[in-house]
């Protein structure tokens, strides 16, 4: 405890019943906590556990305190002062205790372990890591196993909470933690991804206390596997560069900051990962140089960004918000309202009036127009004055969270700040937006029921003509799952349940089962939208500020039209509702009927007929390829006529109509006829494709890549690629096919003479 804290000394002696020799006063700043030069502060009491005389070390404050016998398991900060300045400290009006103890340390004490990593939870993960990597848990790689076990827990909980690896924000923090663990797996010689294989052990150990781990297990597993597969490629390239750079750096010296930044910028190596990789070699990193390179890149980025107007626009809207206040939104109850023009912006500057024909952004004190947010597009419509001035509103944006900015064109007069206007939302467009937004809620609930509770919204678009929904899921959603999701949503639409909203605090909303988006900022009061199911057990409960239908049946009909990947571990479903969905189905049916008419089959027979046609085409293509190969090889056992070119057997063949992909097989067939060099040129639609093959014993003197380049030049091509025994090229001038074969022949002759 802090040496001068007599009150704590007396209380420990009285409450804990400890003898005075067990309460140690330490006269250092280590036992007086402060958040900085100023602010709340207070003395500490640290609780240590004695592991026994068989462990070296002495109690805190003794010369042997650095030993391992006494381990701190708890720390109490008595927050009772405020540091005003270096010389002045005053009592806090409401003192408190900031208490912190390590779960693993307490577990180690209870389990009779001296090392936190020997407790049952950590040990099971370490042994799983040892088994997966094939490296002993307690030998040279013990530290790597500990890093992997510890970081596996961190990343798994982050992913379960909806965080996915990215290059910014919390996703970047997650990626850095993952990559440090993955580098340790690499250090142990693991050739394949390892971390994902440890997830079942973690779930088995911790999912009873944290059920979200079990629900998110597929997402965690797939995310780790994908990320480690990609990182291994990046790591290998980056480590090669690092090895090249440190060849001439001796122990005690530093790696250039520019090189460290290049590793970060090009290969995704965070600075701490580079430092970690060099620490065991006794090599530092020039962090100042790294910071200079980072700032240089930021400055270049700022220059490239300058002129976008974003910064100026933000400052402008802050000024508007400060002066005129927030816009009151009336759109939940009405599509029309009367308001007063509070501010106008033209060409990035505030104006007092907008003339006839001008494009302006108009702020009013209250509006029924929804400003784009939460994935829902902004409303359009019209506003007009009693004097006949009209504004055709094409979009509504929301700035700083509560300033609704109406973008529009002024018609029939001048609009002035202070004018009273009537606002009318485009009701038909608004209804389509409502339908699509409500459908996303029903689909979100259906996705979670069908795929699992790990499904978390990662983004959405609610447009008047369509909707899309991005969500966390580790693999493609198959056709049967999509059908189940679609049927689920349509079943709730047919139930025609009331869509209800209620205002409550965020905590109350979550307690009542509302889904909140991880990372979203919510105010003191939130809007909870409940829909589907029955009144007692709604199908969907979410926090949402958007506009919605009054009853689920107003959506009409829901149709999924697409599913695909957006990023690692993130899928996207696109869908239509109402008349748009019906029109889509009608168009699909019409296309189906037209195909059936062409094939003279009923729609129900089409799958089998199409499969048959595909098989027939494959068979015919194979037969055609075989015929072309026979043509290329002369169509006889003896094959095409060979030439003697400087003592080398050479066959050059032209095949009109053959595809480029068939040429290699043709050359392979020719190579079976014996030692030699073989070339085939195919002419298709005026273009030439060339392949050259060289048999094994001739590879020492002849390179197929160089030979095919000679032929490519004759047909107007550049370069060529492949291996020394087989190479391919092409060119735009198929009329020079024979010249290409002659050029290859000349190249063989020249090389043989050399």
Residue range 9-27: mean pLDDT, rounded: 86
Give the confidence band of 308 by pLDDT, cuts at 50, 70, 90: very low
- Residue with more model confidence, 631 or 744: 744
Q: What values do phi and psi take at 640, rounded to 5?
A: -70, 160
Buried-state track 423-459, b at ≥16 Cβ within 10 A, e below 16: bebbeebbbbbbbbbbbbbbbbbbbbebbeebbbbbe
Nearest-CA neighbor of 729 among 703, 700, 698, 707?
A: 707
Q: Is the confidence at residue 523, as pLDDT, over 90? A: no
Contacts of 246 (CB under 8 A, 6+ apart): 255, 278, 281, 283
Give the confidence band of 282 by pLDDT, cuts at 50, 70, 90: confident
- Residue with more model confidence, 160 or 370: 370
pLDDT in tens, 693-731: 999 889 888 999 999 999 999 999 887 888 889 999 999
Q: What pLDDT is stored for residue 245 in this prediction?
A: 79
> What is the rounded CA–CA span in Å between residue 560 and residue 481?
11
pLDDT in tens, 529-560: 888 766 556 688 888 888 999 999 999 999 99
Q: What pLDDT is stored for residue 2 in this prediction?
A: 87
Q: What pLDDT is stored for residue 638 in this prediction?
A: 46
Give the confidence band of 636 by pLDDT, cuts at 50, 70, 90: very low
Q: What values do phi and psi take at 192, rounded to 5?
A: -115, 160
Q: Is the confidence at residue 298, as pLDDT, over 80? A: no
Q: What pLDDT is stored for residue 309 in this prediction?
A: 46
The first and second tokens of residue 582, run together, are 């019906």
Give the confidence band of 516 by pLDDT, cuts at 50, 70, 90: low
Residue written as token pair 């505030």: 350
Give the confidence band of 246 by pLDDT, cuts at 50, 70, 90: confident
Instruction: Give the torsion sign (CA, 134, 140, 143, 144).
Output: negative
DSSP 3-state assignment of 42? strand
Q: CATH number for the 6-101 domain, one of 3.30.420.40, 3.30.930.10, 3.10.560.10, 3.40.50.720?
A: 3.30.930.10
625-753 CATH = 3.10.310.40
> What is the rounded CA–CA span in Å between residue 135 and residue 128?
10
Q: Is the confidence at residue 463, as pLDDT, over 70? A: yes
Q: What pLDDT is stored for residue 35 in this prediction?
A: 81
Q: What pLDDT is stored for residue 58 in this prediction?
A: 87
Give the confidence band of 402 by pLDDT, cuts at 50, 70, 90: confident
Residue range 148-166: mean pLDDT, rounded: 88
CB 441 within 8 A of CB 531: yes
Percentage of the chain modeled with pLDDT above 70: 93
Looking at every residue in the chain, the average pLDDT score rounds to: 86
pLDDT in tens, 215-229: 888 888 888 888 888
Give the confidence band of 305 by pLDDT, cuts at 50, 70, 90: very low
Cα distances from 350 to residues 1, 320, 363, 418, in angstroms, run: 62, 9, 11, 14
Q: Of 238-242, 326-330, 350-354, give the lowest mean pLDDT range.
A: 238-242
Percentage of the chain modeled with pLDDT above 90: 41
Q: Spell out the CATH class of 327-425.
A: mainly beta
DSSP one-letter string for 606-644:
HHHHHHHHHHHHHHHHHHHHHHHHHHHTTTSSS-SPPEE
Q: What pLDDT is stored for residue 186 in this prediction?
A: 83
Q: Of 87-91, 266-270, 387-391, 414-418, give the lowest mean pLDDT range.
A: 266-270
The first and second tokens of residue 118, run together, are 């020997």
- Residue with more model confidence, 537 or 493: 493
Q: What pLDDT is stored for residue 307 in this prediction?
A: 44
Give the confidence band of 294 by pLDDT, cuts at 50, 70, 90: confident
Nearest-CA neighbor of 578 among 410, 450, 438, 445?
A: 438
431-586 CATH = 3.30.980.10
Is the pTM of the predicted complex or chain greater than 0.85? no
CB 462 within 8 A of CB 437: yes
DSSP one-letter string for 739-750:
HHHHHHHHHHHH
Where are the chain's structural domains? 6-101, 116-270, 327-425, 431-586, 625-753
Cα distances from 91 to residues 39, 42, 75, 99, 290, in angstroms, run: 11, 10, 21, 19, 44
Nearest-CA neighbor of 366 among 400, 327, 424?
A: 327
Residue range 201-218: mean pLDDT, rounded: 89
CB 470 within 8 A of CB 566: yes
């Amino acid at each position: 405890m802090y040496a001068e804290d007599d009150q704590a000394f007396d209380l420990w002696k009285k409450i804990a019943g400890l003898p005075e020799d067990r309460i140690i006063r330490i006269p250092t700043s280590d036992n007086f906590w402060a958040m900085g030069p100023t602010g709340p502060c207070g003395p500490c009491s640290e609780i240590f556990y004695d592991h026994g005389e068989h462990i070296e070390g002495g109690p805190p404050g003794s010369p042997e305190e650095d030993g391992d016998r006494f381990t701190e398991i708890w720390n109490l900060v008595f927050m009772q002062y405020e540091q005003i300045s270096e010389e002045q400290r005053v009592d806090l009006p409401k003192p408190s205790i900031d208490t912190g103890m390590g779960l693993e340390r307490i577990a180690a004490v209870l389990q009779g372990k001296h090392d936190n990593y020997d407790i049952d939870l950590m040990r099971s993960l370490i042994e799983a890591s040892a088994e997966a990597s094939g490296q002993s848990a307690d030998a040279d790689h013990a530290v790597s196993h500990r890093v992997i076990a510890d970081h596996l827990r961190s990343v798994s909980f982050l992913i379960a909470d909806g965080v996915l690896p990215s290059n910014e924000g919390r996703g970047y923090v997650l990626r850095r933690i993952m990559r440090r663990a993955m580098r340790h797996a690499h250090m142990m010689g693991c050739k394949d991804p390892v971390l994902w294989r440890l997830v079942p052990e973690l779930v088995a150990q911790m999912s009873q206390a944290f059920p979200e781990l079990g629900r998110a297990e597929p997402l965690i597993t797939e995310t780790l596997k994908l990320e480690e597969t990609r990182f291994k490629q990046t790591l290998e390239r980056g480590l090669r560069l690092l090895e090249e750079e440190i060849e001439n750096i001796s122990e005690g010296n530093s790696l250039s900051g520019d090189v460290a930044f290049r590793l970060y910028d090009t290969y995704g190596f965070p600075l701490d990962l580079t430092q970690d990789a060099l620490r065991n070699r006794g090599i530092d990193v020039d962090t100042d140089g790294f910071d200079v390179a980072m700032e240089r890149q930021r400055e270049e980025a700022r220059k490239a960004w300058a002129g976008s107007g974003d910064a100026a626009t933000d400052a402008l809207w802050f000024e508007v918000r400060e002066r005129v206040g927030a816009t009151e939104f009336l759109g939940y109850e009405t599509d029309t309202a009367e308001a007063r023009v509070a501010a106008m912006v033209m060409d990035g500057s505030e104006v007092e009036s907008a003339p006839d024909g001008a494009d302006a952004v108009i702020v009013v004190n209250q509006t029924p127009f929804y400003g784009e947010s939460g994935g829902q597009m902004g409303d359009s419509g019209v506003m007009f004055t009693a004097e006949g001035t009209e504004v055709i509103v094409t979009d509504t944006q929301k700035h700083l969270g509560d300033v609704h900015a109406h973008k529009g064109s002024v018609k029939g007069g001048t609009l002035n700040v202070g004018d009273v206007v009537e606002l009318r939302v485009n009701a038909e467009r608004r209804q389509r937006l409502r339908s699509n937004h409500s459908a996303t809620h029903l689909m979100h609930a259906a996705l979670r029921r069908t795929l699992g509770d790990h499904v978390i919204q990662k983004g959405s678009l609610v447009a008047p003509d369509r909707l899309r929904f991005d969500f966390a899921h580790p693999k493609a959603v198959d056709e049967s799952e999509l059908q189940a999701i679609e049927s689920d949503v349509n079943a709730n639409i047919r139930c025609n349940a009331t869509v209800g909203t209620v205002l409550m605090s965020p905590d109350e909303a979550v307690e009542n089962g509302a889904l909140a988006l991880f990372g979203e900022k919510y105010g003191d009061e939130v809007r909870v939208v409940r829909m589907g199911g029955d009144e007692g057990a709604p199908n969907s409960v979410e926090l949402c500020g958007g506009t919605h239908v009054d009853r689920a049946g107003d959506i009409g009909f829901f149709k999924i039209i697409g599913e695909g990947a957006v990023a690692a571990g993130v899928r996207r479903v696109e869908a239509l509702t109402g008349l748009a969905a019906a029109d889509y189905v009608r168009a699909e049916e019409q296309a189906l009927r037209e195909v059936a008419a062409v094939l003279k089959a009923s729609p129900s027979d089409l799958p089998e007929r199409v499969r048959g046609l595909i098989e027939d085409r494959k068979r015919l293509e194979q037969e055609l390829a075989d015929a072309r190969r026979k043509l290329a090889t002369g169509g006889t056992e003896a094959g095409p006529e060979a030439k003697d070119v400087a003592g080398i057997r050479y066959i050059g063949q032209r095949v009109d109509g053959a595809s480029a992909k068939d040429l290699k097989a043709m050359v392979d067939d020719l190579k079976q006829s014996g030692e030699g060099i073989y070339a085939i040129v195919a002419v298709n639609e005026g273009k030439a494709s060339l392949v050259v093959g060289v048999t094994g014993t001739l590879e020492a003197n002849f390179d197929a890549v160089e030979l095919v380049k000679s032929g490519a030049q004759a047909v107007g091509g550049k370069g060529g690629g492949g291996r020394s025994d087989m190479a391919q090229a092409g060119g735009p001038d198929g009329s020079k096919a024979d010249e290409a074969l002659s050029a290859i022949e000349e190249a063989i002759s020249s090389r043989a003479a050399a």
